[in-house]
Amino acid sequence: MTKVERKGIPLRRSSAEDQVNGSMVNMLAHSFSSSAVPDLMKAKSSVQFSRENSFRRTTETEVFDDGTNTFFWRAHTVTVLFILTCALGYVTLLEETPQDTAYNTKRGIVASILVFLCFGVTQAKDGPFSRPHPAYWRFWLCVSVVYELFLIFILFQTVHDGRQFMKFIDPKLGVPLPEKGYGGNCLLYDPGDKTDPFHNIWDKMDGFVPAHFIGWYIKTLVIRDWWMCMIISVMFEFLEYSLEHQLPNFSECWWDHWLMDVVFCNGFGIYCGMKTLEWLSMKTYQWQGLWNIPTYKGKIKRIAFQFTPYSWVKFEWKPASNLRRWLAVCGIIFVFLLAELNTFYLKFVLWMPPEHCLVLLRLVFFVNVGGVAMREIYDFMDDPKFYKKLGQQAWMVAAITVTEFLIVVKYDPNTLMLPLPFHVTQCWILGILVILTWTIWRFFIRDITLRYKETRRQKQESTSEQEKPLSDGSENPAARGKQNREGLRHRKS
């Protein structure tokens, strides 16, 4: 098994090519002496990876790897099991159990989670990413399972018990907190304030400004498409306009929506993300073992590149190509926007302040699992014959997003049932009708019309070919009869 196969990159090779390459390597082995074994292995590796790259998709970059399998890449299942057993044995035999029930309960839950994470990191299935290490992505897959189980537990509690349960995580939680409104005085220049006429702008410059930029920079790396990023960015601002009567946090000034968010923070983050994507698509992915690099500068560079992708796939969503891709892209945008809304509604119904560490940890969690989930969704949509089922991380992210929304619905249905303003309802109905009309025209009426025109054109071409007089007179009866009569007249004369 090659290194590329261990990393989860699907290879489709034929037995004939294996025989040809095997015979080439055998001939090289007989022709070279024992001192040329390293050169032979390099030649074999280049032949092997050139064959593997020939089966890659056109949107995937070529990868050259010398196949070095160091201690860093080997599985350490027995070692992890031994360390885990020693830790449990120490707690059982040498440590005295406290008489605090609440402390023992928390400690037991944390220990159970750690044992599950150890099992998942060593035994779970690898995903599409292999850098910086496959175990890193297996860890986040297990964290997503733990988080989903936690959400299910919260979902099955009463509203009061669920909110009070958060005190077991942090005693400061479980207390209702007012949401901060960003509306109010929306003048860019306030002539009434002589000391600082631009105080409205400086008041909006809080920690969320760099958070918006960094967030959209990472989202661009996840989605890998400028149009989808801009659509999601603009759509979320429309959602904030529409739902500001439910959450005061959505109430912002017009220039805060469109200038600070869409243009500067989101727009600049998307621009930097697209430039990074351009660099990643042009980068040469040539991997070499650390101990095979002679210079210290090369070793440091290799260590830094360990945190870059092993290979790169350019996402070509092509939503208008067929109905399946169009529905898939619309579903991705919908789930993306729902996850964004869950960030605000969850902290509202569970009484968590925006600056709490749990809110930040949730964002870090989605940053790590979102990229894997998006790659698995793209593979499933782009090549359904090879990827016959949805990836495990994508499945977990979809389940988590839906569960979060169900918690919001259960814990505060009154807020969600507040009626939308009439003009907002009209705008959303109009937008939905436009999308449905375009979908019916593009994938049904237009396709039927094109097929009808193509069938009619083919019939006209076949009819014209049948009625067209043939150039060869011997094959045309009328022309052949006329030729015979002229020949007979010629002989008589």
Pair (369, 383) in one structural domain: yes
CA 214, distance to chain mean position in Å, is: 17
Count the neighbouring beta carbons within 10 Å of the beta carbon of residue 100.
10
Pair (119, 170) in one structural domain: no
**Is residue 186 one of the residues assigned to a domain?**
yes
What are the tokens at 475? 């094959």
Question: What value does the mean pLDDT take over residues 326-343?
Answer: 95
Pair (412, 424) in one structural domain: no
* pLDDT bracket for residue 7 (50, 70, 90): very low
CA 198, distance to chain mean position in Å, is: 40
Whole-Å CA distances, 271 to 123, 221, 490: 39, 11, 86
What are the tokens at 38? 């390293």
pLDDT recorded at residue 58: 66
**Is residue 257 one of the residues assigned to a domain?**
yes
Pair (381, 335) in one structural domain: yes
pLDDT at 208 exceeding the cut of 80: no
Q: Cβ distance 226 to 247 under 8 Å? A: no
Interhelix angle for 208-223 vs 357-382, to 10°?
A: 20
**3-state class (DSSP) for residue 63:** strand
pLDDT at 113 exceeding the cut of 90: yes
Instruction: From 123, 155, 184, give the residue that closes a domain.
Output: 123
Of these ranges, 51-65, 93-107, 223-237, 471-485, the one predicted with the greatest mean pLDDT is 223-237
**Is residue 147 one of the residues assigned to a domain?**
yes
Looking at residue 225, the DSSP 8-state letter turns out to be -
| Least confident residue range of 69-73, 319-323, 405-409 | 69-73
Contacts (Cβ under 8 Å, ≥6 apart) of 181:
248, 249, 251
Whole-model pTM over 0.95: no
Q: Cβ distance 41 to 160 under 8 Å? A: no
Q: Which contacts qualify for 142-145: CB closer than 8 Å, 24 or more apart?
A: 142/116, 142/117, 143/117, 143/365, 143/369, 144/365, 144/369, 144/393, 144/396, 144/397, 144/400, 145/116, 145/120, 145/396
pLDDT recorded at residue 123: 93
For residues 178 and 389, the model is more confident at 389
Which pLDDT tens digit goes with each residue over 270-308? Answer: 999 999 999 999 888 888 888 888 899 998 998 999 899
pLDDT recorded at residue 380: 93
Of 149, 483, 442, 437, which Cα lies nearest the Cα of 322? 442
Pair (173, 219) in one structural domain: yes
Indicate the length of the chain as a whole number: 493
Instruction: Classify burial at 26, counting beta carbons within 10 Å of its beta carbon; exposed 0-12, middle 13-18, buried 19 or more.
Output: exposed
Question: What value does the mean pLDDT take over residues 216-245?
Answer: 94
Pair (95, 210) in one structural domain: no
Pairing of strands 63-65, 285-287: parallel
Instruction: From 358, 385, 417, give the residue that closes a domain.
Output: 417
Pair (329, 258) in one structural domain: yes
Arithmetic mean of pLDDT over the chain = 82
Pair (85, 161) in one structural domain: no
- Cα angle 272, 276, 279 (rounded to 5 degrees) comes to 140
pLDDT recorded at residue 291: 83
pLDDT at 4 exceeding the cut of 70: no
Q: For residue 82, give its domain range.
A: 75-123
Which pLDDT tens digit goes with each residue over 22-73? Answer: 444 444 344 434 344 344 444 444 444 433 444 456 677 788 887 777 777 7
Pair (377, 451) in one structural domain: no
pLDDT at 80 exceeding the cut of 90: yes
Which pLDDT tens digit goes with each residue over 424-457? Answer: 999 999 999 999 999 999 999 988 888 888 888 8
Residue 447 amino acid letter: D
Alpha-carbon distance of 33 to 31, in angstroms, equals: 7
Domain count, the chain: 3
For residues 27 and 106, the model is more confident at 106
Pair (274, 149) in one structural domain: yes
Q: Which residues pair with 460 in a beta bridge?
A: none
Pair (399, 424) in one structural domain: no
* pLDDT bracket for residue 491 (50, 70, 90): low
Question: What value does the mean pLDDT take over residues 197-212?
Answer: 77
**Is residue 138 one of the residues assigned to a domain?**
yes
Which pLDDT tens digit goes with each residue over 115-173? Answer: 999 999 999 999 999 989 999 999 999 999 999 999 999 999 999 999 999 999 999 99
Residue with tokens 């120490």: 90
**Is residue 240 one of the residues assigned to a domain?**
yes
* pLDDT bracket for residue 376 (50, 70, 90): very high
**Is residue 302 one of the residues assigned to a domain?**
no
Pair (183, 117) in one structural domain: no
Alpha-carbon distance of 274 to 269, in angstroms, equals: 9
User: Percent of the chain beyond pLDDT 90?
Assistant: 52
